[in-house]
Amino acid sequence: MAKMNVDFEACKGCALCTTACPKKIVEISHEKLNAKGYYTAVCIDDDACIACAMCALMCPDCAITIIPDGGEK
């Protein structure tokens, strides 16, 4: 199955991706800060991800990519 991949250091936690996700499975994690001091986006349910790439299209920093089925990063 395809999955969402977030570049931890590039994400600034703007949360635009959270509003774009039709499945509402993208959230801002409040567990760890990146080097720039931001909490970053995470997919909370990889199995529910339909790989529509709406999150990636919305990201102003191009920090989100969709890894295809069986694909590598």
Instruction: For residue 16, give the DSSP letter.
Output: H
Instruction: Give the residue extent of every domain in the chain.
Output: 3-67
Report the mean per-residue pLDDT for the chain: 93
- Region 8-35 average pLDDT: 97
Average the pLDDT over 23-27 and give the result: 97
Nearest to 10 by CA among 42, 31, 40: 40
What average pLDDT does range 15-42 have in this prediction?
Answer: 97
Question: 3-state DSSP call for residue 23?
Answer: coil
Give 33-61 as a 3 state SS string.
ECCCCCEEEEECCHHHCCCCCHHHHHCCC
Band (71; pLDDT cuts 50, 70, 90): low
Residue 52 has pLDDT above 70, yes or no: yes
- Mean per-residue pLDDT, 47-58: 95
Class in CATH terms, 3-67: alpha beta
Mean pLDDT value across residues 36-42 = 97
